[in-house]
Structure 1
Amino acid sequence: MPTSRWQRIKTTSVRGFHAYANWLVGISWLRFAVLSLLLLILSGVLQNLPPFSWSYTRVVHLPAETIEVPVPPLPPLPPPGPTASDPIGPRPATGASAPGSDGQPVIDIKLPPGASEAVREAVDEARRTIEAAVQEARQEAEAARREAQQQAKEARREAKRAAQEARRQVLREEVQLGESLPQLAFFWIVASLVIKITYRKQIQAEAQAAQAVETAEAESLKRQVVEARMAAMQAQVEPHFLFNTLASIDHLIEVDPQRASQMQKNLIALLRASMPTMRETGAEGSRPRDLGRELAVIRPYLEILKVRMEERLTTEIDVPDGLLSAEFPAMMVQTLVENAIKHGLEPKPEGGKLSLKAEVVHGKLTVTVADTGLGFGRAATAGTGVGLANIRERLQLLHGPKASLTITENPGGGTRVTLAVPYKPLEGA
């Protein structure tokens, strides 16, 4: 058979097997039991209908040596000499206790004393006659024995031929074409039962694997969407901040050149630190970063705002040097600081204080951003909460239940936002 034709047959068979297995898995056990019962009934009905009711004769010939034939035993030899029913039994001769030298029995007839010679001769004649009769009887018995043996052999041969003929008659039987239909139906049901059980497990395993892959892909896609949202939000915030900062620098150049120069230096530091952050966040998603790089963006940002807000803004950053190398998601602290300034301190006429603190609590890196502004959701510039929602979603995707975002009221007035993530020093930081 050509290879291409064999491949087509193989492919068709495999496709048919999978289609049948999927159909078996798709039906319920009750339906499977009902269909199995109907198949057994149908096989029993078809067994008696043409063409399954047609039959043919099958004859099996066995070799003769394989046939065991019971053979009657040979008749035993008659005992030597006269039997107990003989009128004259064997008698040992006078002075002798054994048969004669020729193996024949000795006939002993005792005569009374004084018997005549004629009587003795008559007795001897009678003895000889008896011995001759006994010898003749033995010869006849031997001939009868030989004849019986010959007849027994003939009977054995006849019995063997009869047994062979009878054996041939037994193995000559009629075979119906559909007599194996019930057995085939039962075998089909058992095979289908095995396929239904094993194939269901295989499909479940494949479904679980596919679901795991789909979940992983969905999580990755979701993470990318969240990071894209953060990058888009950052792109929206940066132009406003840059325009305001540049306008402030332009104004200070005329009024206070020294402050304008300081603001320009802070803006350069901010752009130098934030531009790589924005590119990495948009391109690599959840690439791990350290807390020190986040502070490198926040410090010049706050310095610029302090120049713009003057004495209305005071800041305090309390981050130990040992935590600067700790892994921390990008742009989260920056978003919290921007919200505190925009919705808490700027709307307040007298301004206030912004505090940033980092510490390790119960194995988690905790970063707290607190302000003494108007309070959460009380300012007229309160946003829609998209930034905080994005932070929560990113934390869930990155660390699951191990990370948290908590918003509470600051004891001195304003809002306190706490971020907690598993503490892990970043390698190579």
Structure 2
Amino acid sequence: MEARRNNPQHLTAILGWLHRFFDAVATWVSQLSWWKFFLFALLALVAGKILQDELFSGGGEEVVVRNDKKLHKKEPESSILIDDSGIRFNPRPKDKRGAAVVPEPPVPGEAPAAPAVPAPPKGSAAVRAASGEEVHIALPPQIGEELSNAIEAAVDDAAEAKVSRYHKQASTWFKSFVSLLVIALFATKALMGGKKRAEAQTQSANAAVERESMQRQLSEAKMQMMQAQVEPHFLFNTLASVEYLIQTDPPRASAMQRSLIQYLRAVLPQMRDNAVVTNLGREVDMVTAYLNLLKMRMEERLTVDMQIPEQLRSAAFPPMMLQSMVENAIKHGLECKPEGGTLKIIAEVAGGKLRVIVADNGVGFGVVPSDGTGLGLPTIRERLKLLHGDAGQLHIAANSPSGVIATVEVPYQVSK
């Protein structure tokens, strides 16, 4: 009973193994190009031909039969010996059951038993054969030797013919097996190649979609993190300036407080919004509030030149990116310059792309080391690549006579 229960399991395991093997072979064949497949088929046929010749051709082998000038042919009923003196025949008479009868030697003192049938003439070959005695047919030596050689040659020819038939049959089966194998692989590639290729393309497309989705999620997470960041150093300095001006210049402290409220009103919606792309007008309003606060701190040391056409305010632009560019220009170019300088913000469309330029005439890029705020230019490049691929670019160049020009290019689209 246990064996009967295990048989279906073994059969299922064998069928499963055969299915996996066939699927692996079909996948491998379908992945080959046609010229590679035909090359493989040609090599398989050549290798099969070589193996066929080596295994089944006989290779010049000779069937060796031991020959001691005697041919012994043992049979249950008799034995025949052919030598140079002639033919010797030693019959063994059978009893009623068909078994050979071996004559018993006569008992001493007793007369031999008389034959039950009339005996032929004494001394004849028939009498000697019937009585189990050896029969010797004398032949001339030359004829006996020729007869012995002829029988041996016949036996050799029969053995060689049998081996040759076996080799020919095995060779035919082997050749047929190799041919059928190649034909089966060809049919598998022709019939299942399209299916396997479609499955491979589907898997590749699913993997690409999954990678793109993961990259998009990563991009959105990074941008949400950047949107949630408000420069602590900037806020603390602004609040400290407000507190100082309350004691020394209350009207100016009130104006700075209003500018801070305006800036936070522009920034907080960006922090709560999870949009990947916003419009340029919204970014410009936020940067304007930020620059108003800075102008109250830097006073005449900061001059702002804003050139944003009204029709470009609806253009799509990544959130917080313009803010990052302006912060870099202030912190690394103008704020560290004793006499200050001018900050220009320009927007234009060229070649189907929106180009936003932030230029300053400060000390120059790289003169003042970064304090690691996390809103630097490398992050801008990474965001542009995630959002637009090669279509989004950040270019950094030196300004004349001093300062830096940072240019962001993105595909021109109207924000929804």
The normalised TM-score by structure 1 is 0.57
Residue equivalent to 1:360: 349
Check whether the contact 1:332–1:391 (CA below 8 A) recurs between aligned residues. yes
SS at match of 2:376: helix
Q: For each residue in 1:358-403, what CA deviation from the matched residue of structure 2 results, as whole angstroms up to 9, or x when unmatched?
A: 1222332211111121111123558699722222232233233333
- The alignment status of 1:408 with 2:397, answered yes or no, reads yes
Residue equivalent to 1:398: 387
Query: Cα distance 1:397–1:232, how it changes in 2: closer, same or farther (>3 A)?
Result: closer
Aligned match for 2:242, one of 224, 246, 249: 249
Residue equivalent to 2:378: 389
Quick one: percent identity of the two aligned structures?
A: 46
Q: For each residue in 1:271-327, what CA deviation from the matched residue of structure 2 results, as whole angstroms up to 9, or x when unmatched?
A: 2222232344xx55xx22111111121111111111121221121212122111111
Query: Cα distance 1:195–1:291, how it changes in 2: closer, same or farther (>3 A)?
Result: same
Moved more, 12-21 or 352-361: 12-21
Residue equivalent to 1:69: none
Check whether the contact 1:25–1:199 (CA below 8 A) recurs between aligned residues. yes
Structure 2, unmatched stretches of 5+, are: 1-7, 58-168
Aligned match for 1:316, one of 279, 291, 305: 305
SS at match of 1:353: strand
Residue equivalent to 1:190: 183
SS at match of 1:315: strand
SS at match of 1:186: helix
- The alignment status of 1:348 with 2:337, answered yes or no, reads yes
Q: For each residue in 1:9-54, what CA deviation from the matched residue of structure 2 results, as whole angstroms up to 9, or x when unmatched?
A: 8766543320222454689756654444455677899999xxxxxx
Check whether the contact 1:375–1:415 (CA below 8 A) recurs between aligned residues. yes
Aligned match for 2:21, one of 11, 16, 23: 16
- The alignment status of 1:298 with 2:287, answered yes or no, reads yes
Query: Cα distance 1:318–1:40, how it changes in 2: closer, same or farther (>3 A)?
Result: same
Q: Report the CA distance between 1:195 and its aligned residue.
A: 2.7
Residue equivalent to 2:323: 334
Query: Cα distance 1:391–1:403, how it changes in 2: closer, same or farther (>3 A)?
Result: same
Check whether the contact 2:226–2:375 (CA below 8 A) recurs between aligned residues. no
Moved more, 21-30 or 297-306: 21-30
The letter for the 2-side match of 1:251 is: Y
Distance 1:385 1:212 in 2: 35
The letter for the 1-side match of 2:393 is: S
Q: Report the CA distance between 1:221 and its aligned residue.
A: 3.2
The normalised TM-score by structure 2 is 0.59
SS at match of 1:266: helix
SS at match of 1:377: coil
SS at match of 1:317: strand
Distance 1:213 1:322 in 2: 40
Distance 1:364 1:201 in 2: 42
Distance 2:237 2:328 in 1: 17
The 5 A counterparts of 1:75-224 are: 182-196=175-189, 206-224=199-217
Check whether the contact 2:280–2:314 (CA below 8 A) recurs between aligned residues. yes
Distance 2:196 2:375 in 1: 41
- The alignment status of 1:238 with 2:243, answered yes or no, reads no
- The alignment status of 1:260 with 2:253, answered yes or no, reads yes
The letter for the 1-side match of 2:331 is: K
Query: Cα distance 1:210–1:264, how it changes in 2: closer, same or farther (>3 A)?
Result: farther
Q: Report the CA distance between 1:407 and its aligned residue.
A: 1.8
Distance 2:241 2:270 in 1: 25
Distance 1:276 1:13 in 2: 62
Check whether the contact 2:385–2:392 (CA below 8 A) recurs between aligned residues. yes
Check whether the contact 1:406–1:418 (CA below 8 A) recurs between aligned residues. yes
Distance 2:205 2:370 in 1: 43
The letter for the 1-side match of 2:237 is: N
Query: Cα distance 1:42–1:177, how it changes in 2: closer, same or farther (>3 A)?
Result: closer
Q: Report the CA distance between 1:187 and its aligned residue.
A: 2.3
Check whether the contact 2:219–2:387 (CA below 8 A) recurs between aligned residues. no
Distance 1:361 1:179 in 2: 76
The letter for the 2-side match of 1:221 is: M
Q: CA RMSD in A?
A: 3.8
Query: Cα distance 1:23–1:207, how it changes in 2: closer, same or farther (>3 A)?
Result: closer
The letter for the 2-side match of 1:16 is: F
SS at match of 1:379: coil
Residue equivalent to 1:150: none
Check whether the contact 1:226–1:390 (CA below 8 A) recurs between aligned residues. no
Check whether the contact 1:359–1:366 (CA below 8 A) recurs between aligned residues. yes
The letter for the 2-side match of 1:15 is: R
The letter for the 1-side match of 2:183 is: V
The letter for the 2-side match of 1:392 is: R
Structure 1, unmatched stretches of 5+, are: 49-175
